[in-house]
Amino acid sequence: MRHNRGEMGYIDARRQRLARRLAAVQAQIEKLETVMLEMASTGVSSYEFDSGEGKQRTTRRSLDEIKKTLDGLYAAEDHYVNELSCMGIVSLRLRRRP
């Protein structure tokens, strides 16, 4: 099977982009997990979050809100892992022969 060089370049670029996004999501997950553990152990309801694009100081954010944010990040992480592993959802259309 022959591949067009341009097509392979696109695939490589896409994989690299997905890997960068996965790394960014995993870094955010790690930071929020650390915040959540600190809040759970100390009861402090304020923290500083650095997303890499800027720092944000947040107060009175509940553990439930952090858990919801983490759930979304976990879903994004799963999506990127599946895409990189070629384990995404496959759609099939079956036709019955007359």
pLDDT of residue 1: 45
pLDDT of residue 21: 96
HSE on the CB side for 53, CA within 13 Å?
3
Q: Is 97 part of a structural domain of the chain?
A: no
Q: Is 93 part of a structural domain of the chain?
A: no
pLDDT along the chain (98 residues), means of 10: 61 90 96 86 71 71 85 93 78 68
Q: Is 27 part of a structural domain of the chain?
A: yes
pLDDT of residue 97: 73
- The Cα–Cα gap between 29 and 36 comes to 10
Number of structural domains found in the chain: 1
Prediction pTM value: 0.65
Q: At what angle do helices 5-42 and 63-84 cross, to 10 degrees?
A: 160
Q: Is 21 part of a structural domain of the chain?
A: yes
Q: Is 29 part of a structural domain of the chain?
A: yes
List Cβ neighbours of 83 (8 Å cut-off, separation of 6 or more): 18
Q: Is 25 part of a structural domain of the chain?
A: yes
Structural domain including 73 reads: 5-84
Tokens 């990189």 — which residue? 84
Nearest to 44 by CA among 69, 61, 64: 61
Q: Is 79 part of a structural domain of the chain?
A: yes
Q: Is 92 part of a structural domain of the chain?
A: no
